[in-house]
Chain A
Amino acid sequence: MRRVAVTVNGVHREADVEPRQLLVYFLREQLGLTGTNVGCDTTTCGACTILLDGKSVKSCALLAVQADGREMTTIEGLQRDGELHALQRAFHEHHALQCGYCTPGMIIAGLGLIQDDGELTEESIRLGLEGNICRCTGYHNIVKAIQVAADELTPTRM
């Protein structure tokens, strides 16, 4: 066991973890943040995407011990004062989710794109989402929702 101290969604958390514990299961099973989902075992589907020190990463591809001392944002950390984040709102208003399983990872990936990139176009959004698989929506409305949220957020850059 090894002690890991992290900041998740602005809250300091500490726990003992097995060295082999994946970050995603540390979040889900030790910290109780079950909003981040697991959809594959090959780091392909992106359901487990979170922000680690502001960058979107797949939390199934990291060990919990690698996150020691670092800062993370998960889907649970996006709302402010009970209000949906612009991306969550855009997903709702543009029907960008159906079963909702890929949604947390998709929203965080979209957030990563908005923070990283300059101008987002349909093409750059599509390329930027290459690591996130959705089986329900055909991506049409996801791309639209991220575009809408990006337009809303761009002047303030988060």
Chain B
Amino acid sequence: MTQTAEATQEQAKRYVGGGVLRKEDPELLTGQARFIDDIALPGMLWVGVVRSPFAHARINGVDGSRALELPGVVAVLSGEELAGDWEAGLPCAWPIATRSWPTPTDEDPRMPDHWPVAHDKARFVGDPVAVVVADSRAHAKDALEAVDVDYEPLEPVLDVEQALGGDAPRCHEDLGDNRCYTWTLENGEVERVFSEAPVVVKERYRHPRLIPNAIEPRGVVVQPAPAQGEFTMWSATQIPHIAKVTLSLTTGIPESKLRVIAPDVGGGFGSKLNVYAEEAVCLAVARRLGLPVKWIEERSENYLGTIHGRGVVQDMELAATEEGKVVGVRARVLADFGAYLQLVAPGIPLLGAFIYHGLYDPEAYLFECTGVFTNRTPTDAYRGAGRPEATYAIERTIDALARRLGKDPVELRRRNFIPPFDEPRATAGGLEFDSGNYPATLDKALELADYEGLRREQAERRARGDGKALGIGLATYIEMCGLAPSQVLSALKYGAGGWDAATIRCHPTGKVTVVTGTSPHGQGHVTSWAQIAADELGVAFEDVEVLHGDTAIAPLGMDTYGSRSLAVGGIALWNAAQKIKEKAKRIAAHDLEVSPDDLEWTDGKFQVRGVPDKSKTIPDVAFAAWTAHSLPDDVEPGLEATHVYDPPNFTFPAGAHVCAVEVDTETGEVEILKYVAVDDCGNVINPTIVEGQVHGGVAQGIAEALYEEAVYDDAGNLLTSSMHSYRIPSAAELPSFVTDRTVTPSSTNPMGVKGVGEAGTIAAPAAVMNAVADALAPLGVTKIDLPATPERVWRAIRDAKGGAQ
């Protein structure tokens, strides 16, 4: 069932499975790409956003008179003045109410108003409170500093636990308190299992807020066509399709008159999977003035006004036998949503909710999450979204259990793995996993890491009391990808479907256009989709063009996030290719004067069985379909097909990562000596791209483990407010990685693919922190939280020594 990567790809494939070089690269390598800030329109005005310097303050008035006297300033608009421009607030598409799954709720979701520009209260540092419009970037910036806002500072609520206290300041008075929801999922007899289990381990993990830091900041350009009432919006977004629907609702611009284009987009990692105030503002200003407008985010604004990720406190418990069989998992999560609910924020914990048991098979399972409002930047999806948190909780607690029982963490994992399977299989969280072979993945990772050798070296270092402690950590993981079956989303109260779409257009000259509903921003869909289309249609890779990211060109789509693009959009493409071939087969048979049943698809063409020289290629048929001189009676001219694919299930990539760290016990500094990632994302279209996704994900996961944390002061100011103070690792801090794969084809879809975009970020924080904890355990350190900065590690060592140092 699990095969080597090479053996799984069919022999006949010419492109799929090969490391084809990317079609996207030439323009990106030569400075010819068109990112949002590269777009300039004649007569364009610049929009600037005045942001609250207070975490919580009443807005008593906005005075733009000083700003309006400055050169080039066209308008200053307060939240109150703009209030009439909105038909609805900014969207939250995943409102979740208190409930115990699967029992229906009798409570309505608690959804605070979220106006694009605040007019009663500012609720976080960075909350938009007014807008300026000027004739240049510099003049807009000058104007921002001259807008006088009368604030009445209020006490902020910043900590999730304090926020739930009865006397905490309220982020939204109308909601009564700061709780958004409590959502519970329970399978099996949890209370009984935990009360009867001979071993229970209990750990608390603080998972800090992270700042996504796509290297391209966000930006918006809007071109209005006043006479037609039409608007074209370019936005540095992952989700042009979702943005179009939701911004139409917010602004009242009919969806039929709004075109959204994602130009070249410089990374997202979830931060551009959102609908933001500035998009609505630019549409509103362009509508008011009838002129094109542009807003470009500065990095300092990005840190305040673009979503953060993570920000959870997790209480994790495992119930086990003395032999180490895990029988119960209980996870209780407090999630910091910040001041408002952004697009899918309430649903983020639910993306982890079903997989806190990891690759293991307990008989009792409880997940409970309470979402909380605080006076901080809203949180939402950041690469992995819910699944890194779940993986971190289970994998660190498994190690804690291993230490408690005096067992090797490898042995403990092996004992608890779900056995290999290739048909859908029920799991403790209630999902049906598609396929998996977890022992094979772990074996390969251990072999590549030379796990035994590392343990020997560790023993030697410990024996000689080496000040550089060696720590070995592993993390296995499961993720749910391929978002998502629309009916499941309905049950989870998501406000949209999970399908995606593809169109294939076969031109009479033999060229092929693929239109996809996914919206890549670095993932290489143009290349991978061309590989799929070329193989399925028997045409040259060079002859396939892939179009995306423009709602006028690709009207159907659900965009790119959650490792969904290949497992949903790619399968839509595969299905569209089958439709093309079905129609083409009838035309080819007609041309060859045989029955369609006499044709077989061989070597990329239709061939009369047993008569190799009687055949038709797709380009042959496309020409015949275009001339339409001789078609079967009920066949329409042209060769084009669209498929909208709604997946029957999620896909479940899995993997095993091994990390070796060296901890300087004098300084607390952690260095990564070795990082091995073995991932199983099912069949692979382009192994080079897959490897690149793992590299980037692992780097972000290592950063999460060792460096990154959004830190606030007691007044709610973001202290890590620039790239200087928020530490993103450079090449100098990171090692080269060892990557490999096992291949267990998905049973969810016909291509057997699963998805890989988030794998590295899901596994790495747990692998690295388990390694750090492993290094520190002999020093008596029992607790170390993210991120393991030198200071935190040094303090942990000092505290373990009883403060003597």
Interface, chain A (partner B; CB < 8 A): 18, 20-21, 25, 28-29, 33-42, 44-45, 47, 74-76, 78-79, 84, 88, 91-93, 95, 97-104, 107, 122, 125-127, 129-144
Contacts and interface: CB of A to CB of B under 8 A. Distances in A.
Given A131-B730, A141-B692, A91 B29 contact: yes
Nearest to B268: A99
A33 B32 CA distance: 9
A153 B734 CA distance: 26
A125 B688 CA distance: 22
Given A99-B522, A143-B731, 16 more contacts: A29-B40, A37-B35, A37-B37, A39-B299, A41-B722, A42-B300, A75-B31, A95-B691, A97-B29, A100-B28, A107-B29, A133-B213, A136-B696, A139-B699, A139-B731, A143-B736
Given A92-B22, A100-B24, A140-B737, A41 B300 contact: yes
A79 B215 contact: no
Given A47-B215, A133-B215, A136-B267, A42 B31 contact: no
B111 interface: no
B657 to A, nearest CB: 13
A138 B215 CA distance: 13
B29 A99 contact: no
A101 B213 CA distance: 12
A24 to B, nearest CB: 11
B267 A99 contact: yes
B697 to A, nearest CB: 8
Contact of A133 (B300, B523, B697, B728): B728
B534 to A, nearest CB: 19
Contact of A138 (B521, B689, B722, B737): B737
A80 to B, nearest CB: 12
Contact of B698 (A74, A88, A100, A138): A138
Interface in B703-723: 722-723
A89 to B, nearest CB: 8
25 contacts: A21-B138, A29-B40, A29-B137, A34-B35, A37-B215, A38-B217, A39-B217, A41-B298, A42-B299, A44-B723, A75-B31, A78-B30, A84-B30, A92-B29, A98-B524, A99-B522, A101-B215, A101-B266, A104-B31, A126-B730, A126-B734, A132-B730, A135-B214, A138-B697, A144-B736
A142 B731 contact: yes
Given A92-B21, A95-B688, A101 B30 contact: no
Contacts of B728: 133, 135
B785 interface: no
Contacts of B30: 35, 75-76, 78-79, 84, 88
Contacts of A139: 695, 699, 730-731, 734
B265 A99 contact: yes
A139 B695 CA distance: 8
B488 interface: no
B360 interface: no
B216 interface: yes
Given A45-B215, A74-B31, A34 B38 contact: yes
A103 B723 CA distance: 18
A140 B731 CA distance: 8
Nearest to A142: B731
B696 A138 contact: yes
Interface centre among B29, B688, B731 (most CB of A within 10 A): B731
B489 interface: no
Q: How large is the interface on B (under 10, 10 to 19, 20 to 34, 35 or more residues)?
A: 35 or more
B6 interface: no
Contacts of A34: 31, 34-35, 37-38
B732 interface: yes
A28 B137 CA distance: 13
Contacts of A39: 215-217, 266, 299
Contact of B731 (A97, A100, A107, A129): A129
Given A41-B298, A76-B31, A134 B215 contact: yes
A79 B40 CA distance: 25
A113 B729 CA distance: 19
B192 interface: no
Interface in B24-50: 24-26, 28-35, 37-38, 40
A133 B730 contact: yes
Nearest to A103: B28
A125 B330 CA distance: 46
Chain B residues touching A, majority SS: loop
B264 interface: yes
B731 A42 contact: no
A93 to B, nearest CB: 7
A12 B310 CA distance: 50
Contact of B723 (A42, A127, A144): A42
A101 B25 contact: no
Given A37-B35, A76-B31, A99 B732 contact: no
A18 B1 CA distance: 67
Nearest to A46: B730
B464 interface: no
Interface string B582-616: 00000000000000000000000000000000000
A29 to B, nearest CB: 7
Contact of A92 (B25, B300, B736): B25
Given A133-B730, A137-B696, A95 B689 contact: yes
Contacts of A133: 213, 215, 723, 728, 730
B652 interface: no
A96 to B, nearest CB: 9
Nearest to A88: B29
Nearest to A84: B29
Contacts of B35: 34, 37, 101
B756 to A, nearest CB: 13
Interface centre among B25, B40, B689 (most CB of A within 10 A): B25
A100 B377 CA distance: 28
A135 B215 contact: yes
B722 to A, nearest CB: 5
B438 to A, nearest CB: 24
Interface centre among B215, B521, B688 (most CB of A within 10 A): B215
B629 interface: no
Interface in B377-408: none
Nearest to A97: B28
B267 A135 contact: yes
What are the 10 closest A-B residue pairs judged by CB atoms, nearest first?
A35-B31, A101-B266, A100-B28, A138-B699, A99-B522, A44-B723, A98-B522, A138-B695, A75-B31, A139-B731
Nearest to B739: A140
Contacts of A41: 298-300, 722
A76 B137 CA distance: 24
Interface in B500-524: 521-524
Contacts of A40: 299, 722-723
Contact of B522 (A33, A100, A104): A100
A51 B730 CA distance: 20
Contacts of B696: 98, 135-138
B683 interface: no
A49 to B, nearest CB: 12
Contacts of A37: 35, 37, 215-216, 266
Contacts of B214: 99, 101, 135
Interface centre among A25, A44, A136 (most CB of B within 10 A): A136
Contacts of B760: 138
Contacts of B19: 95
